[in-house]
Amino acid sequence: DTGVSQDPRHKITKRGQNVTFRCDPISEHNRLYWYRQTLGQGPEFLTYFQNEAQLEKSRLLSDRFSAERPKGSFSTLEIQRTEQGDSAMYLCASGDYEQYFGPGTRLTVT
Amino acid sequence: DQQVKQNSPSLSVQEGRISILNCDYTNSMFDYFLWYKKYPAEGPTFLISISSIKDKNEDGRFTVFLNKSAKHLSLHIVPSQPGDSAVYFCAASGGEGLTFGTGTRLQVTL
């Protein structure tokens, strides 16, 4: 078990571009979560999957955000038409009551 | 609405002494509580958790106490070590995504 992995670790993009992040959860975990963390704040819940089904979306997840988990394994989070306010650390976690986090993807929108 | 609050942004403790980190919550639907430790540029690391049916859980140097009537939990670290210096987040679960506090930065001094 190698833990939760995320790719890329860092992404710099220009405003208006689309970006996609990948998360590979711990293999035996059915639930996968996405969070966003900005400076000085705790992680904020975005959405989660039970296997391939997306079961809840936070109101933080605007129409420009979409997440998928095909086949119930890895997940992707896409942000379309990025804005400077999207700059944050995007965290993925897997587990049930206890969630185990990946190292995060640091997004900088210039 | 801040449903999980960590009112102390920072705490400094001498090596070998006890560190006590506090957390308050407002949502009585929360039924599981967790503590995470976070280093810069890394994802949160799970430390210890407690179900709402318990009032104490211990794991090595870490003990979490839950006072449901006061909607308060605390993390005790004994003895504190320099490697414990990090930001600690309290989190609460109502069954889906976690709700995090804003964190307390712990500095363990020699």
Tell me the pLDDT tens digit for each residue of B37-91: 999 889 999 999 999 999 999 999 999 999 999 999 999 999 999 999 999 999 9
Kindly give the pairing relationship between strand B19-25 and strand B4-5. Answer: antiparallel
B33 close to B66: Cβ distance less than 8 angstroms = yes
Residue corresponding to tokens 């009032």: B55
Q: How close is the nearest chain A Cα to the Cα of B100, in Å?
A: 5
A19 close to A107: Cβ distance less than 8 angstroms = yes
Nearest residue in chain A measured CA to CA from B88: A42
Per-residue model confidence (pLDDT) at position A60: 84
Q: Which of A47, A41, A36 is nearest to A86 (CA)?
A: A36
Q: What is the mean pLDDT of chain A?
A: 95
Range 63-82 of B in CB contact (< 8 A) with A: none
Query: What tokens were used for A4?
Result: 């939760």
